[in-house]
Structure 1
């Protein structure tokens, strides 16, 4: 296990005892036996660690999209992992600090979808399509947080289907035409 993963596991252990905003860098480093200096060599703050961990799972969830995998498949994988790591993500999504996970998720997923579409279309998104994509990404993050904070009563498969079914029509057509949906 590399140092970043070790720090993420320590943070998850700390989250079992305290909300994210109460956890200090010292708490994290004490939990895994590394120095503060080691922490700061890898992350600028606690939220940077949270976002790194989320990036890791999100990128793993979506890395095969376009190679026979669809947005639905990526979402199922993402929601399954979030559900498995419920304690971590509940605390992370509740946090409103600067550089919080909701904002980070939006930036990451918007960039991912934008790049995926542009790579396949070979030109920038129209203003209208960019607007629809941003609105869709904001809505999907809101619904992901709502799902998680309401005890994730719906399965990851049903939530992924609801997300893909709720896509604006023009955006859906682009994703369908590009074999991403």
Structure 2
């Protein structure tokens, strides 16, 4: 049986609270009291609650993004898995987007995470340690646009089906990135 780390216990405490109330009303004290930890323990692992939210996001999406380039995993499958992950955490993400001053930092972290994983795939396929500047710019533009769209989709009271969102994101992949993501 795998034991949970202190970091995971703190994160679960936050998720329990975020399911019940607005994120801007959740304090670090609330989080640690909910899991019988102390504030110093929280700060040993996270800078603040926004750092915790970001860690949860990165952790949830990393598994899906790590599949990029593995045998039998098409980019559309990776996109669909990612969108389903957002769907699974919709109430927490929407809560973060609506009720925190950390909206921009959350979007930035989302973009940075996606940029990092796409650039890793480009480096892997090119056999290089760096991504050419022109490709890096294209990756950023694609991720910024898709990140904004995903946030709007999450906030929509009647969101489109996950499959439609994934198909739209795949259709928008710039031609320069297709050899790295779609082949």
Q: TM-score, normalised by structure 2?
A: 0.88
**Aligned in 2, Cα 1:152/1:35: closer, same or farther, shift over 3 Å?**
farther
C-alpha distance in structure 2 between counterparts of 1:152 and 1:101, whole Å = 22
Work out whether 1:162 is the aligned partner of 2:165. Answer: no
Within the candidate set 61, 66, 69, 2:69 is matched to 66
Whole-angstrom CA distance in 1 between matches of 2:83 and 2:126: 28
Residues 38-82 of structure 1, C-alpha deviation per residue, up to 9 Å, x if partnerless?
111211110111111111111111222211212221221121122
Map of 1:24-173 to 2, 5 A cutoff?
24-67=27-70, 68-94=72-98, 95-97=100-102, 100-123=105-128, 124-151=130-157, 153-173=159-179
Deviation of the 1:152 alpha carbon: 5.6
Q: Helix, strand or coil: the match of 2:177?
A: helix
CA distance in 2, matches of 1:122, 1:103: 28
Q: Which runs of 4+ in 1 moved over 6 A?
A: none
Distance 2:50 2:56 in 1: 10
Residue by residue over 1:76-119, the C-alpha shift from the partner in whole angstroms, topping out at 9 and shown as x without a partner, is: 11211221222111122333338721110111111111111011
Q: CA deviation at 1:120?
A: 1.0
Number of residue pairs the alignment of both structures matches: 177
How much does 1:174 deviate? 4.1
SS in 2 for 1:61: helix
SS at match of 2:67: coil
CA contact (8 A) 1:93 1:100 kept: no
Cα distance in structure 2, aligned partners of 1:152 and 1:114: 33
**Aligned-pair RMSD on alpha carbons?**
1.9
Give 5+ residue unaligned stretches, structure 1: none
* Paired residue secondary structure (1:170): coil
